[in-house]
Structure 1
Amino acid sequence: MNQDYIQPNEWSIIEEGFDPKRVKSSESLFSIGNGAMGQRANFEENYSGKTFQGSYIAGVYYPDKTRVGWWKNGYPEYFAKVLNAPNWIGIDIKINDETLDLHTCKEVSNFRRELNMKEGWLARSFEAVLQNNIKISVQIKRFLSLELDEIGAIHYQIKPISGDATITFTPYLDASITNEDSNWADQFWDVLKIDQNKKQSFIVAKTMKTNFHTCTFMQSKVFVDGAEVLMDATNTTSEKKASSSYQQNIRKNQIFAIQKFGGYIVDRNHPKDALIEAAKEVLDKAVSFGFDSLLEMQKQSWAKIWEMADITIAGDVKAQQGIRFNIFQLNQTYLGTDASLNIGPKGFTGEKYGGSTYWDTEAYCIPFYMATKDQSVARKLLEYRYNHLEKAIENAQKLGFKNGAALYPMVTMNGEECHNEWEITFEEIHRNGAIAFAIFNYHRYTNDYSYIPEKGLEVLIGIARFWHQRATFSSDKNKFVILGVTGPNEYENNVNNNFYTNYIAKWCINYALENIKIVKNDHISDFIRIKEKTAISDAELAAWKNVADLMYFPYSEKHQVYLQQDGFLDKELITVAALDKSQRPINQKWSWDRILRSPYIKQADTLQGFYFFEDDFSKEELARHFDFYEPFTVHESSLSPCVHSIQASKLNRMEQAYTFYLRTSRLDLDDYNHEVEEGLHITSMAGTWMSIVEGFGGMRIKNNMLSFEPKIPKQWNSYSFKVNFRNTIVKINVQQNGTHFTVDGNEEVTILVNEKLVKVTPNNLVTV
């Protein structure tokens, strides 16, 4: 049974009624972020029930020493932890000396929580009867500023409704935090300094081992019935905490409010010895703007994002809410302002998966950022991998590869591999292919070739060298094989000749060879520099080509399909339809041994190859493979339903495409995989965007042009989206009886619609 307590709403995520069993799930779903920091939707006031406290700073991590039963050569030294950072949102509240705690209140009524995605704020309101029988009404609003991305603001107001009361607000900073998951229960933070003045508090702390220096800070103001009350706070500090208390006698139905400004200053952006000065500067700026002006700026910042990124769906509120939730969370996680950052699978919503960067970025996120932002954002994501090339070469060397072969990590913070499950870290090597594919995808979409001679070709050479060395010549098959791998389908480990891995290996080698030729002919000075640096030779290139030409792909004549891997047909092929629902999700119900012997597919694997390289296969081949593999797919990876939705659209199976779309767009909102309390699936959210734009909209690049084959589910009246294609903004509005195209700006654009050329000129609506 999926959860269904989130109210359908086009622009907001809304929860009504307080249920302690939902607290951790809601903390994930209502998370907020601004690209530089983020936090789970923990309550500001004390909560003694089950909760998962989490505040995170982009790029700050701890190398938690790997914990394994038996050390094997090549194991990563550590598993990088996204660090729970010192908490700045806390406000202890006492009403006549009784602590406000929703877990111990006699009664909680009219509880409502709203994440307003249009304007970028989180609000909560409730009425409560405390143990001392005082009844209060509470309203809270908070946001993390996009404009001043080191600052967040909270407005918290209380109205006593049963009689007069003495109310004490004690805002605090707390550095005694721990991570929800750690291998050895190490202490991650060391507090260096606590500083307070009459208005402001600061905690300077550094991370152990990685030595990131941060300053967590706060300043508060209090109000009675909207008028500011100037009072000196009572300051207290302990070893890891700084707090300031404000107490006031409040009459029945009067409103006592606190505005708290807080956030993080990090030595990634400021000198280590000037963190408190920088924090004072940002606090002064925020306080001079005030809560209301900052909120107004927040609304404008989000309006600008939505202007380009919004997808509208008419006639289906749950579908509309789903896509906006996905687009909103992607923008909360990464805005493309800092080339040293990337898109973590959980963003700022939880700690699972540790590292900040997976192959998800290249395979799923880059298309979203290319089309909804300036192309420089996607280029930054490519440069992130170029900047880690030396580390990728080191990672490969640790495993015995030579001559500049590069293996990009499965999980990373700084380019080093930091994932310690053997079958994923060392076998899931297909991630190398996604990094090469992203370079191809970027050039195909933007027509900006400059990245390849400047940086990309070196990456392609390192990756091609890896595939050349990783392949083994089988004299039995007279072909090159790739042994002992795990494909995207992680429910098959240590298999031979995973179709997707072999296919992308062949493609990477050919793509590297093709670009070496282009750079040699057209960018000779770059070619000379790269040749000198990498020492490539004609003999080496010929050896690569031999591997690509003789790559083996397992195939079943009986089923007329490529096999996921050599042994797939040895399995007992019982479809998902025959699985008892009580056994799902199998990753939570079955032993790993049973999963590995089953035919069940965690995510599109062979079909992932058909998605990336669809021009290499006919529609009939796609249909055959889809019909063969889809019945065995349990979609227990968040990355699976979107690929199936895109392919079902291509095959004109709109009911299936729509079902998969709902599953990908509401994966977290409806908690399909029963794990949302651990955090959201941020990177797969880009797949939701793809299922509309590439799936229903049929957007592709063909003949160096934008191409569409629009379709529409019968459940929708219309849908629309915009794409930034080579600095021209094209808007597509698909209705049941036709599709409208418009173009922003002064340039006309020629596009393909259902294989026919269509010219779209500025200020003119073209209907097909």
Structure 2
Amino acid sequence: MNLDYIIPNEWSIIEEGFNPDHVKSSESIFSIGNGAMGQRANFEEHYSGATFQGSYIAGVYYPDKTRVGWWKNGYPEYFAKVLNAPSWIGIHITINNEKLDLFTCKNVADFKRELNMKEGWLSRSFTATLKNDIQIQVEAKRFLSLDLDELGAIEYNITPVNADATITFQPYIDAGIRNEDTNWEDKFWDTLNVSHENHQAFIQAKTMKTHFYTCTFMESQLLIDGKSVLIEPIITADANSASFSYEYKVKKGETYTINKFGGYTVDRNHDKNQLIPAAKAVLKKATKLGFKTLLENQKAAWQNIWNLADITIKGDVKAQQGIRFNIFQLNQTYLGKDSRLNIGPKGFTGEKYGGSTYWDTEAYCIPFYMATKDQNVAKTLLEYRYNHLDKAIENAQKLGFKNGAALYPMVTMNGEECHNEWEITFEEIHRNGAIAYAIYNYHRFTGDYSYIPEKGLEVLIGIARFWHQRANFSSVKQQYVILGVTGPNEYENNVNNNWYTNYMAKWCIDYALENIQKIESEYTTDFTRIMNKTKLSKAEMQEWQAVSTNMYFPESKEHEVYLQQDGFLDKELITVKDLDKSQRPINQKWSWDRILRSPYIKQADVLQGFYFFEDHFTQEELEKHFDFYEPFTVHESSLSPCVHSIQAAKLGRMEQAYQFYLRTSRLDLDDYNHEVEEGLHITSMAGTWMSIVEGFGGMRVRDNMLTFKPQIPKQWEAFSFKINFRNQILKVNVCQNQTHFELEGDRDLQILVHDKRVTISPNNLITV
């Protein structure tokens, strides 16, 4: 059964009523982050029920030794784990010596949790009756600062309702934590030092093996009815934690408040020996500004994000809530400030999937960041891969490739492959194509070619070399084939001639050759430098060309479609609608052997190619392929509904497009895959944005021009979005019968709307 307790609201995620069965799911859904750190929505006070405690620092990981039955040459030695970091949010609370614990309270009433996406904060309120019959009212609010991204802040208020009470706040920091998922139960952290000074406490710790140095810190302020009170704490410290106890006799009806400031300083940004002074500097700013001013600054920072990133939907609150939730979580995960960071598939909401970077970044996330931020944010994501090029060449060498061939990892933290399922690690090589496609997509959208001669061409050469070596000539077919692969559909492993992979290989070679030619004629200095560095010869390029020109593509003359792979028609072709519903999801009900022999498709595969390269195919070809493959697609990947929504809209099938949109936008809010307690699907959230902008808005870039073919689901009155196109902001507002365009910029912009040219002047509303 899907979750149904999240209350529809345009700007907030709201839960009302306390249900212990929802706690772990809500800890995921209500997660907060600021690009530099994040945390699941764990309660500040102690909770003895089922919970998944999680705090995470961007870029900090541990190489957990791979666990496999037997070793294979080229196997990654470790699976990089996103690390559960020392926690700073905890506040033990006792009332007349009785610990506050919602799991053991006699009664919990008026429980409300809210994640306010407009302003960037999380709150909880409830009335609880403890086992000692004291009744209290609690209001708590917290956020992770966008302005001071090493800082988080908590305001926790308790009011005794039925009697005076002695209340103790015991804020603490704790390094005695562990990951939910470990291969060998290794210890991931080494606590170096626990110290305290005045009302401040610090834990210095480093990760085992990777040696990331961190400092977890806290400081608290106490108030009664909003007025500051000075209370000398009782201090407790051990090898892994430090806590301060602040006891106060609170009258019935009075409100006792703790403002707790905490966070992390890390050696990515500071000298590892200066982490405590850096933490003190953060705390000095925090306590000087105070909780309320920090909160106002937080609201302003989020307003700046929403000014460009927001999508409005009129007449459908669930759809509106869904898209804002997706945009909010993407911005909590990555803001483009640091080229050493990337967009993890779970962000800061859980530990599943390990590493921080998948092909999702290039295939799904870059369009969102290009259009809703300064183009340098997307360029930073491209530079991340350029910085890992040497590692990609090393990864390919481990598998027997040579001469600078580059295979980018399926999963990585630092450029090394750290995924340990053979059918993914060795075979899902189409990921290489997404890296090249992102370079093309960036240039197409921004018009900025500078990245390619400066850095991108070296990446394209390494990728082209890989495809040249990975293909082999079939004397039977008299064409080049690519054997033993897994395409985007991970429900087929070790297949031959996955159409998408072969098509991507050909395109990558052609695109590399096209750019080599352009740079040779227009950027001679860069050309000489790159040729000297890569030792690329005309003879080698001719060999590439032979592979591209003579690439084999499986097809069915009978069905008039390209085949997903050579053996697809050998399967028993029973469509999803004829599959017993009790068998779904098949990835939880069937053996892997049965899945691999079935025709069922996890996500867009051939259709992923039609999405990337739609200009290469006619509308009729798209329709034939959509009608052939979608009926076999079980959409058991979070990346699946968005591509199908965009293509259904292109085919004018708006009801189908709308249903796919709802599924992608509310994938986590409604827990379609029955796994939200493990964390959110961050990278698929960018696909939700694409479903509206590229699907319903019909936005494309062709011949250096923005083009639109707007459509609107019948369930909506109107929807609007903004695009930052080459440093001009275009607002698009689509209604049932017309579309409005408005430009914030300093020069006219020509666009195509339903293939008709329209000129938009700055600050002048145009209606089509």
Whole-Å separation in 2 of the counterparts to 1:386 and 1:658: 37
Partner of 1:421: 421
Partner of 1:168: 168
How many residue pairs end up in the alignment? 768
Q: Match for 2:156: what amino acid?
A: Y
1:553-592 correspondence runs (5 A) = 553-592=553-592
Whole-Å separation in 2 of the counterparts to 1:8 and 1:71: 50
Whole-Å separation in 1 of the counterparts to 2:191 and 2:236: 16
Partner of 2:648: 648
Partner of 2:216: 216
Whole-Å separation in 2 of the counterparts to 1:241 and 1:707: 57
CA contact (8 A) 2:193 2:239 kept: no
Q: CA deviation at 1:641?
A: 0.3
Partner of 2:391: 391
Whole-Å separation in 2 of the counterparts to 1:597 and 1:615: 33
Say whether 1:4 aligns with 2:4: yes
Q: CA deviation at 1:197?
A: 1.2
CA contact (8 A) 1:198 1:232 kept: no
Whole-Å separation in 2 of the counterparts to 1:28 and 1:585: 21
Q: Match for 1:4: what amino acid?
A: D
Q: Match for 1:629: what amino acid?
A: Y
Whole-Å separation in 1 of the counterparts to 2:512 and 2:4: 48
Whole-Å separation in 2 of the counterparts to 1:259 and 1:584: 47
Q: CA deviation at 1:586?
A: 1.0
Say whether 1:21 aligns with 2:15: no
Whole-Å separation in 2 of the counterparts to 1:724 and 1:664: 24
CA contact (8 A) 1:423 1:494 kept: yes
Q: CA deviation at 1:200?
A: 0.2
Whole-Å separation in 2 of the counterparts to 1:680 and 1:575: 29
Partner of 2:664: 664
1:226-241 correspondence runs (5 A) = 226-241=226-241
Whole-Å separation in 1 of the counterparts to 2:704 and 2:331: 28
Whole-Å separation in 1 of the counterparts to 2:479 and 2:20: 59
Partner of 1:733: 733
Q: Deviations over 1:362-421 (max 9, x none)?
A: 000000000000000000000000000000000000000000000000000000000000
* SS in structure 2 at match of 1:503: helix
Q: CA deviation at 1:584?
A: 1.3
1:316-327 correspondence runs (5 A) = 316-327=316-327
Q: CA deviation at 1:588?
A: 1.1
1:39-438 correspondence runs (5 A) = 39-438=39-438
Structure 2: unaligned runs, 5 residues or longer: none
Q: Deviations over 1:434-465 (max 9, x none)?
A: 00000000000011111000000000000000
Q: CA deviation at 1:747?
A: 1.4
* SS in structure 2 at match of 1:706: strand
Q: Match for 2:256: what amino acid?
A: F
* TM-score normalised by structure 2 residue count: 1.00
Q: CA deviation at 1:339?
A: 0.6
Q: Match for 2:64: what amino acid?
A: D
Whole-Å separation in 1 of the counterparts to 2:586 and 2:108: 37
Q: CA deviation at 1:536?
A: 0.6
* SS in structure 2 at match of 1:126: strand
Whole-Å separation in 2 of the counterparts to 1:213 and 1:31: 24
Q: Deviations over 1:680-699 (max 9, x none)?
A: 00000000000000000000
Q: CA deviation at 1:102?
A: 0.7
Percent identity between the two aligned chains: 75
Partner of 1:711: 711
Give the CA RMSD over aligned residues.
0.5
* SS in structure 1 at match of 2:626: helix
Whole-Å separation in 2 of the counterparts to 1:350 and 1:11: 23
Partner of 1:619: 619
Q: CA deviation at 1:253?
A: 1.2
Q: CA deviation at 1:748?
A: 1.1
* SS in structure 2 at match of 1:350: coil
Q: Deviations over 1:709-739 (max 9, x none)?
A: 0000000000000000000111100000100
CA contact (8 A) 2:330 2:682 kept: yes
Whole-Å separation in 1 of the counterparts to 2:140 and 2:570: 59
Structure 1: unaligned runs, 5 residues or longer: none
Whole-Å separation in 2 of the counterparts to 1:601 and 1:272: 48
Partner of 2:674: 674
Q: Match for 1:339: what amino acid?
A: S
Whole-Å separation in 2 of the counterparts to 1:11 and 1:308: 16
Partner of 1:602: 602
Whole-Å separation in 1 of the counterparts to 2:187 and 2:703: 56
Whole-Å separation in 1 of the counterparts to 2:220 and 2:582: 51
Q: Match for 1:54: what amino acid?
A: G
Q: Deviations over 1:128-165 (max 9, x none)?
A: 11111111111100000000000000000111112111
Q: Match for 2:704: what amino acid?
A: N
Q: Deviations over 1:723-765 (max 9, x none)?
A: 0000011110000010000100221100011111100001211
* SS in structure 2 at match of 1:346: coil
* SS in structure 1 at match of 2:7: coil
CA contact (8 A) 1:7 1:14 kept: yes
* SS in structure 1 at match of 2:645: helix
CA contact (8 A) 1:167 1:249 kept: yes
> Which segment is superposed worse, 193-202 or 645-654?
193-202
CA contact (8 A) 2:231 2:247 kept: no
Q: Match for 1:5: what amino acid?
A: Y
* SS in structure 2 at match of 1:683: helix
* SS in structure 1 at match of 2:353: coil
* SS in structure 2 at match of 1:342: coil
Whole-Å separation in 1 of the counterparts to 2:199 and 2:290: 15
CA contact (8 A) 1:198 1:233 kept: no
Q: Deviations over 1:100-125 (max 9, x none)?
A: 01111111111100000000000001
> Which segment is superposed worse, 100-109 or 398-407?
100-109
Whole-Å separation in 2 of the counterparts to 1:429 and 1:191: 39
Whole-Å separation in 1 of the counterparts to 2:254 and 2:583: 54
Whole-Å separation in 1 of the counterparts to 2:761 and 2:624: 40
Whole-Å separation in 1 of the counterparts to 2:725 and 2:745: 12
Q: Match for 2:195: what amino acid?
A: D
* SS in structure 2 at match of 1:236: strand
Q: CA deviation at 1:580?
A: 1.8
Partner of 1:478: 478
Q: CA deviation at 1:345?
A: 0.2
Q: Deviations over 1:264-290 (max 9, x none)?
A: 000000001110000001001011000
Q: Deviations over 1:249-274 (max 9, x none)?
A: 11111111100000000000000111
* SS in structure 2 at match of 1:566: coil
Q: CA deviation at 1:2?
A: 1.4
* SS in structure 2 at match of 1:278: helix
Q: CA deviation at 1:704?
A: 1.1
Q: CA deviation at 1:702?
A: 1.2
Whole-Å separation in 2 of the counterparts to 1:145 and 1:76: 37
* SS in structure 1 at match of 2:128: strand
Q: Match for 1:281: what amino acid?
A: A
* SS in structure 2 at match of 1:22: helix
Partner of 1:532: 532
Whole-Å separation in 2 of the counterparts to 1:83 and 1:596: 33
Whole-Å separation in 1 of the counterparts to 2:540 and 2:98: 76
> Which segment is superposed worse, 230-239 or 63-72?
230-239
Whole-Å separation in 1 of the counterparts to 2:581 and 2:87: 41
Whole-Å separation in 1 of the counterparts to 2:50 and 2:425: 33
